[in-house]
Amino acid sequence: YRAKQLGRNTLQHHDGDSSGLGMPRGEQEELHQAITCDQLFLEYQPQVDVATGRITGVEALVRWNHPAKGRVPPVNFIPLAEETGLIVPLGLWVLNEACRQARSWQDMGLAPVTVAVNVSAKQFADPDFASHVAEALERNRLQSRWLELEVTESVVMQNAERALAMMEQLRAIGVRLSIDDFGSGYSSLAALKTFPFDRLKMDRSLVEALPGDKTAVAIASAVISLAQTLKLSVLAEGVETDAQMDFLRHAHCEEAQGYHFSKPVSPEELSRMLQTRLP
């Protein structure tokens, strides 16, 4: 799979569009190079079954190994990628790399886990997105049930009709769809009833104040039971403490992700974790 070709086409495509945004030209060129010159890599953060402690899935998180600055976190380049349109080839690289890695773990004989990939608004608005997903699965001989796509509310609310049509195409392929960062910023319950999500990821900001803060407890409990009522599985993000885990266990939250279990790690480290996981 050639990210180089993709990047080249897309730069031509978006070159004109982005010149008016006032983005420093150099940074844009650098990000383009990151995509075409193999400077991006993925780390994987385990997602854990709250009741058993087993790893059930991983979230793929992109990083940039900048030739001069070293390791750059996604908050420092995803916004630029979104503004310039480079998120489309970047996202395609992430999608393919995550599927390739999932295939490679399965080939190692490890018990399969779901791999979740973050999808941005521009990718989701691309009419070819569903076929890119199908191609990535096929190319890597990965069953669709092992791929999960994470989108935030703002992605689906931007153009509800178009988003719904895209979600239906993706569901037909058989991938899982999750709503990311639920409860961050403004949240509308409409998104949950309108769109066919499989899973709700409760934002770290709601988990942070657990279990000491009474309001946080009330909100987190409400979100968990809302998910159950709507038949969505529910995962708590940003879990860092034993006390938060105790709360989540009692509130019947199904899964958790956070530094309490592991920070995002290399694929090698993750395969070690999968090897030693309890049966």
Question: Could you say which of Mg ion, ligand C2E, none residue 189 binds, taking C-beta under 5 to 8 angstroms by partner kind?
Answer: none
Per rule CB under 5 A, count of chain residues that contact Mg ion: 5
Cβ proximity to Mg ion, 237 vs 254, nearer residue: 237
Distance CA 34, CA 41 (A): 10
Cβ proximity to ligand C2E, 30 vs 181, nearer residue: 181
- Smallest distance from the beta carbon of 21 to ligand C2E, in angstroms? 18
Q: Which of 97, 148, 150, 153 binds Mg ion (CB under 5 A)?
A: 150
DSSP secondary structure letters along 152-214: EHHHHHTTHHHHHHHHHHHHHHT-EEEEEEETSSS--THHHHHS--SEEEE-HHHHHTTTT-H
Cβ proximity to ligand C2E, 240 vs 279, nearer residue: 240
Question: Could you say which of Mg ion, ligand C2E, none residue 254 binds, taking C-beta under 5 to 8 angstroms by partner kind?
Answer: none
Regarding 181 and contact with Mg ion (CB under 5 A), the answer is yes
> What does the angle CA 51 – CA 55 – CA 61 come to, to the nearest 5 degrees?
130
- Smallest distance from the beta carbon of 91 to ligand C2E, in angstroms? 6
DSSP secondary structure letters along 32-96: HHHHHTT-EEEEEEEEEETTT--EEEEEEEEEEEETTTEEE-GGGTHHHHHHHSTHHHHHHHHHH
Regarding 254 and contact with Mg ion (CB under 5 A), the answer is no
Footprint on this chain of ligand C2E (rule: CB under 6 A): 45, 61-62, 73-75, 78, 91, 94, 118, 120, 150, 180-181, 204, 238-240, 257-259, 264
